[in-house]
Amino acid sequence: MATMKLLVLFLACLCGSAFSSPTDLVYRNSTLVRNTIFADERLQGEIFENIDAFRELNLASRNTQVDYRLPTTTRPIHYSVLWIIDFSRSEPTQSGTVSIQLAATQQNVNEIVIHADDLVLENVQLALGTTNIPITHILEKERQFLIVRLNTGTLNFNQASPVVYTLTVSFGAPLRTDMYGIYRSWFKNSPTVAASWMASTQFQATSARYAFPCYDEPSFKATFDVTIRRPTAYRSWFCTRLRETTNTVANYQDDIYHTTPVMSTYLLALIVAQYDSREVFDQAGLLKFEVIARPGAIQAGQGEYALEVGQKLLAEMSSHTAYDFYDQHPQLKMTQASIPDFGAGAMENWGLLTYREAYLMYDQQQTSSHFKQIIAYILSHEIAHMWFGNLVTCDWWDVLWLNEGFARYYQYFLTYWVEDMGFSTRFVPEQVHTALLADSADIHPLTNPGVGSPASVSAMFSTISYNKGAAIIRMTEHLLGTDVHRQGLRDYLRGKHFQTAVPLDLFTYLERAGNNANALNYGNDFNFVDYYRSWTEQAGHPVLNVHVNHRTGEMTIYQRRFFISPGANDVNTNYIIPITFTTGSNPNFENTKPTHVISKAVSVINRGTIGDHWVLFNIQQTGFYRVNYDDYTWNLIIIALRGADRTRINQLNKAQIVNDVFQFARSGLMSYNRAFNILSFLENETEYAPWVAAMTGFTWLRNRLAGTPQLTQLNNLIVRWATTVMGTVNYVPAASETFMQSYLRYQLAPIMCALEVPACLESARNQLAALQATQPTEVPADSRNWVYCSGLRQGVAADFNFLWNRFQTHNVYTEKILLLQVLGCTRDATSLNTFMNAIVQTNELIRPQDYTTAFNSAVTGNEENTQIAFQFIQNNLPQVISAFGSAVTPLSYISARLRTAESIAAFEAWATSVQTTLGTASYASVMRGAQLARDSLAWTASVQDDINNYLVNGDQQFGTTEAVTEATTAVTTAQQPGITQPATPDLPSPDVTTPAPGSAVTTFVSITAMFCAMVAPYIL
Ligand SMILES: [Zn+2]
């Protein structure tokens, strides 16, 4: 028996290493172009600064024939702006005057082109000193330009001593209602008092031009003197400290602010509101830090957490960059402002940061750890922008990742340094995995030339710019080493402060730091700038196909670009890839400094050991790529994961394996039977990262299997595999538990309740009943998400009414948002209609920024909600269109949950019947949603047998050969480069995926593949 086993595994080993051919790199059905991206999955992760998140926007068209960029023939030097905010009319307004000091940058300039839109302009005047220059001006709507032409002659030009002209314009407009430019908002301190008006701003990316005429592109930096005239009963805030307040007009006061640093227009902000503040002054009485919000929130102490942790984050970032925030400019202070209506979520205006109330206000009893960590990490993100974005600004929106990649990176690591909250662990499942997914759908590279119109600028606020940007920065940090990377960034900030930057600036400073520290010894072929360009100028990322010869230790690595939808694109791309790996003979998951950098399509690295032991690439998933192995090496990994070695493998690598195999199976690179065999280690797994990665994968798969017989079997499998981990986190918070234990329960318990685990259902029922008792017991804040939802599912209309009333009367916004997220869990159709009516009607109950959250809850709370919500939309189409701007988003929630061909056909027939009401563009979007539902059914049908195979037959068992004599050679970071190219590279040219039929390669592969297929049934 032992002899037989040895023989079989030797053959398997041979097959593994013999698979050094391209055919196993292609997808199972290479001829099939198959979409795997459906509407229930948001490729655009959680971009809380996404300016378009809340409704369909009517931005200017994306006309590629038009050059939307400002000419650089003039430049601004200094602005003086007066803004007058007037709430006394039935429609509140803003108006004022701007004087721009500007100069020509070359000879023969006869016009000045700046931005202005949706403004009434008066008294446009150009002066040189006290002399008025005769001009005419026109407004060009498509490009949102104000063009000022000299009637005769040209502007004086002197390079050595610029000739300064002053352009003065008076302007005015109603306060906007779409949360752009200067817009109006309102708040109440309690449900029974009247609403109070306020004005706030959102200028990024292209909305300063709605507030005043200006050079509204990031590279036109200047200084600003701002005066805000506001009603006497109000206060105002701006980026810099208040210099003085004067009385100039009856019932109004002028707040005159100190001059700003040299800055871009999109970073300006102002607020006029009857707000309260919590302030911190230095010993000289200068304002340093403050949190401002509606008085009802400040007086309840809800600003204390942001005040405390915000100061710590600012100090930590000051020390990390060796550039103190308060040294950026003598009149900068730090104001964190809570805004009731805020489409963008949060914004890094210099010195006046703005947030949705739920992202800033914290209540110790009522706010869950989930919202607490959101507050901490959004503060980190915006604070990091004070350096990456404000001090050094992306030169144009096509390199937005220079701002957002760093802000997202520090969102995790700055928070980790100050608050921990597991952020260094969470970066991988929350950022790397989401970035890999979005990046495998063939969208834009990080650096994306061709961005021009406001619509194309808006599209840059994407998961690629944020998540992938952060992931590539982290990969580079580990390539250079953390200290060297930090030094390079410090040099970059000093070198480019008060300027804009392009990627090459960053690369150059980092490379210099790397060379100075001797940290770039990756072989003579290695070029750091080429490395960075390969990841930023090319879209996508590779999967490494690793084939190990366990007898020689040779590991052959093939890199191929990974696509989540097979057949999407045949063109291969090579990346310059930092390599880390560790082996079962001497596991070391701590050293993340790469040992090699590979750039070719095929590379060979010697493992340094021989014998049958596992190898895992991409330690702690610091590299931005996926890894697939030959079958035999996967078997060795499975044995390790199912056995005692599991605890020696870093949880980030286990999470990587989980995420990789789910996506390999989805895209057709691996069978589901194989994927489940690998995932079976979850049955004994209790760590955070692999479970979070697993639940993401299972949720996607459960949505595919909804309506099929396999769903119940899959649900049972998940419950069985989760039994051990749920035994460690339980359903009741323990006094001594860590944040991560609590956070794991927060994520797992809702799924356990949805899968109807009795312990979860009972716990939820009892806790919701206790909350409604005569002597109520509040549900622990961290358990409310699943207790409320599951309690509603098991409850009646009275339970809904109780929580609906709680929503309407609660003073803590995080609790209100949570309630909106769960109210759709009711199974009572009347209650669900009450909820949906409240969303689409004009009232003061649910704010427009929260419409999509609430409606999504209504549709997805239960499987049967889909048709109830669809019926509601059919009955109330005009109201739905009015509330959301169009019916596309709410109808996309419906179409994503259509589970049968009949329901899809009925949906399409209805959409066609109301085509005129929907409008042409919306109708096309709605029909695309129906097609995605049909694609989903087709995809599911194609994998059902494969999935069934595992669900029926369960795990395969694997063994290893007897111990082979090992010759261990330690792999060290100093060992370079050790990469050899195969004697006969057998990958076809990069743009061909499969060899031509009958080619030598095909024949060879066919034979080995058949041979392995014959052996395969015995390898059990
Ligand atoms: Zn940001």
- Rounded to the nearest angstrom, the distance between the alpha carbon of 658 and the centre of ligand 1 is 29
Using the 8-state DSSP alphabet, how is residue 843 labeled?
A: S
Q: What φ, ψ does residue 928 adopt, rounded to 5°?
A: -65, -40
> Which pLDDT belongs to residue 1015?
27
> Which pLDDT belongs to residue 295?
96
Query: Do 260 and 350 form a contact (C-beta atoms < 8 A)?
Result: yes
Sign (positive/negative) of CA torsion 594, 595, 600, 605?
negative
- Rounded to the nearest angstrom, the distance between the alpha carbon of 276 and the centre of ligand 1 is 26
Return the exposure string of 499-514: e unless at least 16 CB atoms fall within 10 Å of the residue's CB, then b: ebbebebbbbbbbbbb
Distance of CA 109 to the CA centre of its chain: 43
200-219: pLDDT as tens digits: 999 999 999 999 999 999 99
Concerning whether 56 is annotated as a catalytic residue, the answer is no
> Which pLDDT belongs to residue 305?
98
- Rounded to the nearest angstrom, the distance between the alpha carbon of 407 and the centre of ligand 1 is 6
- Rounded to the nearest angstrom, the distance between the alpha carbon of 92 and the centre of ligand 1 is 30
- Rounded to the nearest angstrom, the distance between the alpha carbon of 45 and the centre of ligand 1 is 14
- Rounded to the nearest angstrom, the distance between the alpha carbon of 408 and the centre of ligand 1 is 7
Query: Do 270 and 236 form a contact (C-beta atoms < 8 A)?
Result: yes
- Rounded to the nearest angstrom, the distance between the alpha carbon of 602 and the centre of ligand 1 is 38
304-352: pLDDT as tens digits: 999 999 999 999 999 999 999 999 999 999 999 999 988 888 999 999 9
> Which pLDDT belongs to residue 9?
31
Query: Do 166 and 126 form a contact (C-beta atoms < 8 A)?
Result: yes
From the list 382, 419, 477, 685, the catalytic residue is 382
What protein residues have CB closer than 5 angstroms to ion ligand 1?
A: 49, 404, 407
- Rounded to the nearest angstrom, the distance between the alpha carbon of 492 and the centre of ligand 1 is 19
> Which pLDDT belongs to residue 570?
62
The C-alpha atoms of residue 521 and residue 515 are separated, in whole angstroms, by: 9
Contacts of 960 (CB under 8 A, 6+ apart): 9, 612, 635, 636, 639
Give the mean pLDDT of the chain: 89
- Rounded to the nearest angstrom, the distance between the alpha carbon of 85 and the centre of ligand 1 is 28
- Rounded to the nearest angstrom, the distance between the alpha carbon of 49 and the centre of ligand 1 is 6
- Rounded to the nearest angstrom, the distance between the alpha carbon of 50 and the centre of ligand 1 is 9
Predicted TM-score (pTM) of this structure: 0.90
Residues of the chain with pLDDT under 50: 1-31, 51-62, 962-977, 981-1020
Query: Do 632 and 549 form a contact (C-beta atoms < 8 A)?
Result: no
- Rounded to the nearest angstrom, the distance between the alpha carbon of 702 and the centre of ligand 1 is 33
42-60: pLDDT as tens digits: 666 555 665 443 333 334 3
Distance of CA 169 to the CA centre of its chain: 39
- Rounded to the nearest angstrom, the distance between the alpha carbon of 379 and the centre of ligand 1 is 10
> Which pLDDT belongs to residue 376?
97
